[in-house]
Amino acid sequence: MIYLNGKFMPIEEAFIPVLDRGFIFGDGVYEVIPVYSRKPFRLAEHLIRLQHSLDGIRLKNPCSNDEWRNILEQIIANNDGEDQYLYLHITRGVAKRDHAFPANVSPTVFIMSNPLPQPPEELLKTGASAITANDNRWIRCDVKAISLLPNVLLRQLAVDRHALETILIRNQFLTEGAASNIFIVKDKVLLAPPKSNLMLPGITYDVVLELAAANQIPHEIREISETETRMADEILLTSSTKEIMPITLLDNHPVGDGKPGELFRQLHALYQEYKATHMRGQVV
Ligand code: PMP
């Protein structure tokens, strides 16, 4: 069961006109929200980020937060699985092809749910491999835009080389992954690149930093150079669907001793504990 422009329907019955500006220009934004035990995780934060993305493309939010909550509740109830991930997509709507914004057009709103895959146990034990590439995206990476062509091409580089993710470097500094945020660990200190227009402010990134702060894990938010990334003791990848994963091979060189490290183990356990608290309804 999906949601399209005010109606719930099976996905096979959902169609959009070819002149939708999402199709023509990639003119829209999206969110991905994990659901555990049928409860959306960090929903308030996802809705704040959605508003930031909409502001970034000058598109009015078509729903209030209460309306979003209500629609998402119905989608969750009408899809299988205790754990799901919601994909919410808003475009500037359907209009005659012209780059400039159309007048008096309603946005297209599409929401679907898919089963949430568990991060593979094997990769958590051995760690995953990543490659690096030059971050050649635009400079509003803080907007979760549906126009993802650079991310698609960068992520495919990783797939071509049998790696999990492409880690992006801009002007000799680490930004993020093609579809994730990246942390490094050096001398037992967790290092996170600062939020800016050059990276997506990850919801999982925030959770990890909150967990570090609450559990006296030494951490610092500051620019991380490419060299520091290559010399890291640990590299951690975060995203809503992958949660927190260790990167143990970078461009075919072992990261630290080539095994998932102590801070990964600690933060992964804390993340699972936090999720369990959320599932018991003790965190909204
Ligand atoms: N950066 C990029 C480019 C992403 O696409 C994503 C989400 N897939 C993230 C970071 C991680 O964000 P979140 O933790 O909110 O999923």
Q: Three-state SS for 149?
A: helix
CATH of 2-115, one of 3.20.20.60, 1.10.4160.10, 3.40.50.300, 3.30.470.10: 3.30.470.10
Per-residue pLDDT reduced to its tens digit, 226-248: 999 999 999 999 999 999 999 99
Per-residue pLDDT reduced to its tens digit, 170-225: 999 999 999 999 999 999 999 999 999 999 999 999 999 999 999 999 999 999 99
Residues 6+ apart with CB under 8 A from 213: 219
The answer, yes or no, to whether residue 284 has pLDDT greater than 60, is no
Report how far residue 154's alpha carbon sits from residue 132's, in angstroms, rounded to the nearest whole number.
9
Which position among 7, 96, 144, 188 bears the catalytic label? Answer: 144
Query: For 145, which DSSP code?
Result: B
Ligand 1 geometric centre to CA of 201 (Å): 7
**CATH 3.20.10.10: which residues of the chain?**
121-279
**CATH 3.30.470.10: which residues of the chain?**
2-115
pLDDT of residue 282: 75
Q: Three-state SS for 100?
A: coil
Residue 113 and residue 151 in contact, taking contact as beta carbons nearer than 8 Å: no
Per-residue pLDDT reduced to its tens digit, 193-204: 999 999 999 999
Report how far residue 186's alpha carbon sits from residue 165's, in angstroms, rounded to the nearest whole number.
21
Ligand 1 geometric centre to CA of 98 (Å): 30
pLDDT of residue 281: 84
* C-alpha to C-alpha distances, 49 to 60, 145, 186, 189, nearest whole angstrom: 14, 11, 30, 28
What dotted CATH number matches 121-279?
A: 3.20.10.10
For the chain, how many residues are written? Answer: 284
Residues 6+ apart with CB under 8 A from 199: 141, 142, 175, 176, 181, 193
The answer, yes or no, to whether residue 92 has pLDDT greater than 90, is yes
Residues 6+ apart with CB under 8 A from 165: 128, 130, 131, 155, 158, 177, 178, 179, 180, 237, 247
Active site residue 259: no
Probe residue for ligand 1, chosen from 30, 88, 200, 271 as the CB with the greatest number of ligand atoms within 8 Å: 200
The answer, yes or no, to whether residue 40 has pLDDT greater than 90, is yes
The answer, yes or no, to whether residue 129 has pLDDT greater than 60, is yes
132-150: average pLDDT? 98
Ligand 1 geometric centre to CA of 243 (Å): 10
* C-alpha to C-alpha distances, 254 to 10, 124, 192, 242, nearest whole angstrom: 46, 16, 20, 21
The answer, yes or no, to whether residue 110 has pLDDT greater than 70, is yes
pLDDT of residue 84: 98
Residues with CB under 6 A from ligand 1: 32, 151, 176, 179-181, 200, 202-205, 238-240
- The beta strands (E) that lie in 60-126 are given as 84-91, 108-115
Ligand 1 geometric centre to CA of 202 (Å): 5
pLDDT of residue 205: 98
The answer, yes or no, to whether residue 4 has pLDDT greater than 90, is yes
